[in-house]
Structure 1
Amino acid sequence: MKKAPIIWLNVLVFSITFAVAAIGVPVYALTVGIDASLWWAALAMFIFSGLSITAGYHRLWSHRTYDAHWSVRAIFALGGALALQNSALHWSSDHREHHKHVDHDDNDPYSASRGFWYSHIGWMLREYHPDKYYDYNNVKDLQRDKIVMWQHKYYLPLALALNIGLPVVLGLLVGNVLGALLVTGFLRLVVNHHTTFFINSLAHIWGNRPYTERNSARDNGALAFVTFGEGYHNFHHIFSGDYRNGIRWYQFDPTKWLIRGMSFIGLAGNLKRASEYQIEKARMEVMWLRLQRKRQTTAEWMQHEYDELLEKTKAYYLSRKKLLDTKTQSIKDQVAHSALMAQYQELKSSFREERRRWRKMVRAAL
């Protein structure tokens, strides 16, 4: 098959930013030094842009799990441009396709069934679906959001201003423009990118599936710590309309806490939650399916053991009959009789051991 054409702009952006972050930042930090204020600024920008993706692009616009005040939507639009992951309109379009066709290679834009590399970043390096995800027919509701459309229209200048202009301004303030570009620009951007990309890749490979096994999405508390709560991905894929990902009080989900906090001061409303009954039902169904599989496996194993016991029983009794038949003769051939006796004793021992194992197994199963 002919390979999909390479998207050279994406290849260059991902390659250059990663190379600078992995090589340039450590070299500069060791040889010149970077002011602590820039590290704190990079952390703040990482949190701002990360939450703009999770609370804005993902839970607000892609899944409409709550309503937000226009000021919040404007802030998330700016933070999304800082994250440099395309416009909210485009991002939401791809993400809705992912949920509709999860794990289906031909329709899921970042299908995990194609492997870690493809779902993590490979799907953005080639034009695999040139006509499928760019007409925005599945985000018509978002086209009525003036802030979404404003960000989409001016996405490129916003992204350049925030990813280059803002680090330059920070650098001028602390007297180290290059250091600011390296840390708050390149390094922060690479960390933002790959922690978000982990949700498409690692969260479909590493973790458990307590709510559904119909797709590859996993719950992973470790991933939640670097993705602002998005690591509880198995729950999300079956209850995508819930504004929470981590539904337990102890689960790390700062995106949920942010949305809930905004609702207390009137900046968010209509927070949607899945039915507790439906959540518990989903967990019970997964447990039941696993029990059925275990019972089937056990039954197949017991059938095999039963068949083996029958064979040994048959061999034992045939050997016993043959031995008794030789006794009715005048024992003309003592050698043959001795051989039969040895075979009989071996089969008798094997039969009794198999019968003991079988009875023990049946008692345990019952």
Structure 2
Amino acid sequence: MTAPQPKAPINWIAVFALIFLPIVAAIAIPLYAYHHDFSLAAWISMFVLLGVSSLGITAGYHRLWAHRAYEATLPLKIILMIMGTFAVQNSILFWASGHRTHHRHVDDVEQDPYSINRGFWYAHIGWMLRDYPSGAANYKNAPDLLNDKLVMFQDKYYVPLVIAVHAGILLPIGWAVGDMWGVLLLGGLMRLILSHHVTFFINSLCHMWGSRPYTDENTARDNFVLAIATWGEGYHNYHHIFQYDYRNGVKWWQYDPTKWLIWSCSKLGLAKNLRRIPSFNIKKAELAMKFKYAEQDLAVYGHNVNEDMATVKLRISQEYDAFSQTLNDWAKLKELEIQAKKASVAEKIHQIDDKLKMEFQLVEQRLSHHRQTLNLLVNNLKKKAQAN
């Protein structure tokens, strides 16, 4: 009989920030509201500063430093570092390195720092309350960050920076609006708690609730409601298959203010080299999942429409073969493009590019056709099953 494993030691700093401070807020804020009430300016400070700290994490810690999804000028990096420090989620180095480990070992209960397979509570907050081995700092995956002077400066002076940033933001606002305690309680304390849990939703709910339109190889989900709550990070299924894209919401209607902020900074000359996954790769992943879901629908609804089963299976099989041929054609076109650019003189490349672009567009149109045909087949199957 093996001896029980000792529990991981408690992280008292995390307990103070994540357990004690919310208790203080639950007592102090209602008491202050009862005796003094909060000014409108204090409420506004809470919402505005929530955006500041949350975007510091999503645009800075996450998409800039953890994934290198774009490049930022030094002034923008300093601003994002200050915004992220204001969120009090540890240093850029610790946060980004741990997040890279999460992507590399997603859902692994031993190596993923916040694996959802250990439960909602653990993924949301529990992994920080004890010093679990999976959450220990290991910067072998972050040589770029170790060579970043700004990142290392923040890591070295993190605690003084947290104090300085909070004093430099909250005290002038409280003095200017004439409600110091209101701003400290709402714009400071309540905003900090909300900012924490907005980020924690990405680790917990975004791995539990929503759809998987691009991959089912991990637990990450896309969810419009969570995208609103998490400043665009809710399209998490897309992010886990295409983590180096500066966007999480790639469709025009998807809510992703972090993407809009990065794009706006690029137009102002503050950011460059915004990385985007080619649209064909996105459509390919989306359509491959549609074929998987079509097979599942056949298994669920097919027994109710036996007379049409052979026809439906044949049509889906034919459509999948056409899809595979489309992928082969795309690969050949990419090879032709590479060879043409190597072999052609500069003045001929433009002509070749124009021709290849037209052929690429035709291939993408074929992908759209496959998706429409597949949707039609599945919808007809469901309608016939319901009718029977």
Does the pair score TM above 0.5?
Answer: yes
Match in the other structure for 1:85? 89
Distance 2:97 2:124 in 1: 18
**In the TM superposition, what are the counterparts of 1:161-240 in structure 2 within 5 Å?**
161-164=164-167, 166-240=169-243
Match of 2:209, SS state, is: coil
Is 1:260 paired with 2:263? yes
- Which amino acid counterpart does residue 168 of structure 1 have in structure 2? L
Distance 1:167 1:17 in 2: 17
Question: 1:292 and 1:176, CA in 2 relative to 1: closer, same or farther beyond 3 A?
Answer: same
Residues 237-292 of structure 1 deviation map (CA, whole Å, 9 limit, x = unaligned): 00001000000111110110111111112111001001111111111111112222
Distance 1:47 1:92 in 2: 20
Match in the other structure for 1:347? none
Is 1:59 paired with 2:63? yes
Distance 2:153 2:244 in 1: 25
Match of 1:33, SS state, is: coil
Match in the other structure for 2:281? 278
Distance 1:72 1:221 in 2: 28
Question: What root-mean-square deviation, in Å, do the aligned CA atoms of Structure 1 and Structure 2 show?
Answer: 1.7
Distance 1:164 1:62 in 2: 27
Task: Say whether the 8 Å CA contact 2:66–2:97 is kept in structure 1.
Answer: yes
Task: Say whether the 8 Å CA contact 1:246–1:253 is kept in structure 2.
Answer: yes
16-25 vs 59-68, which moves further: 16-25
Distance 1:127 1:62 in 2: 22
Select which of 158, 161, 168 maps to 1:158. 161
Match in the other structure for 1:362? 306
Distance 1:119 1:174 in 2: 39
Distance 2:116 2:207 in 1: 6
How far residue 297 of structure 1 moved from its aligned partner, in angstroms, is 5.3
Select which of 127, 130, 134 maps to 2:131. 127
How far residue 165 of structure 1 moved from its aligned partner, in angstroms, is 5.5
Task: Say whether the 8 Å CA contact 2:42–2:179 is kept in structure 1.
Answer: no
Task: Say whether the 8 Å CA contact 1:164–1:181 is kept in structure 2.
Answer: no
Would you identify which runs of 4 or more consecutive aligned residues in structure 1 move more than 6 Å? none
Residues 292-335 of structure 1 deviation map (CA, whole Å, 9 limit, x = unaligned): 23435567xx5xxxxxxxxxxxxxxxxxxxxxxxxxxxxxxxxx
Distance 1:166 1:265 in 2: 24
Q: Which has the higher Rg, Structure 1 or Structure 2?
A: 1
Is 1:19 paired with 2:23? yes
Runs of 5+ in structure 1 lacking a partner? 303-359
Select which of 12, 18, 29 maps to 1:8. 12
- Which amino acid counterpart does residue 125 of structure 2 have in structure 1? I
Query: What is the TM-score with the length of structure 2 in the denominator?
Result: 0.75
Is 1:104 paired with 2:48? no
Residues 143-185 of structure 1 deviation map (CA, whole Å, 9 limit, x = unaligned): 2211111111111111122235532343333343322221111
Distance 1:145 1:361 in 2: 62
Distance 1:364 1:260 in 2: 49
Runs of 5+ in structure 2 lacking a partner? 311-388
How far residue 26 of structure 1 moved from its aligned partner, in angstroms, is 2.5
- Aligned sequence identity (%): 47
Is 1:33 paired with 2:6? no
The aligned length equals 306
Question: 1:152 and 1:364, CA in 2 relative to 1: closer, same or farther beyond 3 A?
Answer: same
75-84 vs 159-168, which moves further: 159-168
Is 1:245 paired with 2:245? no
Match of 2:133, SS state, is: coil
Task: Say whether the 8 Å CA contact 2:86–2:166 is kept in structure 1.
Answer: yes
**In the TM superposition, what are the counterparts of 1:304-319 in structure 2 within 5 Å?**
none
Question: 1:292 and 1:361, CA in 2 relative to 1: closer, same or farther beyond 3 A?
Answer: closer
Match in the other structure for 2:117? 113
